[in-house]
Every structure is written in C-alpha cells, then in structure tokens.
Amino acid sequence: MSPIQSLLAEMRGRLGMYIGSTSLIRLAAFLRGYDYALVKLGQGKEDTFLAEFRDWIHERFQSTSQSWEDTILSHSADEGEAVKHFWKLLDLFSEEKNRQCETDGQHGALGVQQTTIK
C-alpha cells in the first residue's frame, strides 16, 4: 500500500480531524502537501497514486481540463456531496486496480478499504 493510500485509509470517516472540514479541495491540497513532504524530507520517492487516480478520473469523466478534485466537484451539488462521491470513486478505482493486479499476478497490491457501491 502506498503512503497516500495508507493515509486515506486513516482519514476515512474522520476527514474533519485532518483538514478541519469536509472539503474535497482541502483534501486534495492536503494529499499533495503530504506527498511533497515525503519526497522533500527524504522519506521516500514520489507516490504515483495521485497521478494514477487523476488519470482514471479524467478517463471516467472524459475531461482533462480540470484537476481531479474540480472534476468530481463539477459533478456534485456541493463539497459535502463531492467528498462522498470521492470515497465511492476511490473504492471503484481501487477495485479496478486490484482486479488488474490480480490479472497481472500481484494479488492485493492496493489494500485500500473498499465499500459496495449501489
């Protein structure tokens, strides 16, 4: 599991504790800052998770003109709904990546908590 994925697993259900409010824009900025700090402080190399998620969101919504968070927000009524939408999309992304890893012979590579989407 990547550092970003581990952090997201910790943050799930407790977003306000980490960023002060339920905001997808704040979450995205926090994740980018966390990724930058890991690299800057020599704690690891850049995590590819955010770039892969961004590309998946752009493909899913057929849009590359916005950031992943702005794309999700533009398909949501407000920040609160956008955050709920984010978690569902994260689960779908993780499921697809896990299936791809299983096909490639890399079982359980993502390990992000997943929920069923109805």
Distance CA 48, CA 55 (A): 11
User: Has residue 118 been placed in a domain?
Assistant: no
Inside any domain, residue 114? no
Please report the pLDDT score of residue 104 as a whole number.
Answer: 77
Has residue 117 been placed in a domain? no
Instruction: Give the percent of the chain with pLDDT over 90.
Output: 65
The reported pLDDT for the residue numbered 72 is 97
Give residue-wise pLDDT tens across range 44-97: 677 899 999 999 999 999 988 899 999 999 999 999 999 999 999 999 999 998
Specify the number of domains making up the chain: 1
The answer to whether residue 43 is domain-embedded is yes
- Say if residues 72 and 86 touch (Cβ distance below 8 Å): yes
**113 within some domain:** no
Q: How far is CA 86 from the centre of its chain?
A: 7
Confidence of residue 117 (pLDDT cuts 50, 70, 90): very low
* Domain, as residue range, for 9: 3-103
Contact 114, 91 (CB under 8 A): yes
- Binned at pLDDT 50, 70 and 90, residue 112 comes out as very low
Mean confidence (pLDDT) of the chain: 86
Residue 29: Cβ within 10 Å count: 13
Residue 56 lies in a domain: yes
Query: Would you say residue 9 lies in a domain?
Result: yes
pLDDT of residue 78: 95
| Residue 70 CA: distances (Å) to CA of 47, 85, 88, 100, 111 | 21, 12, 16, 27, 26
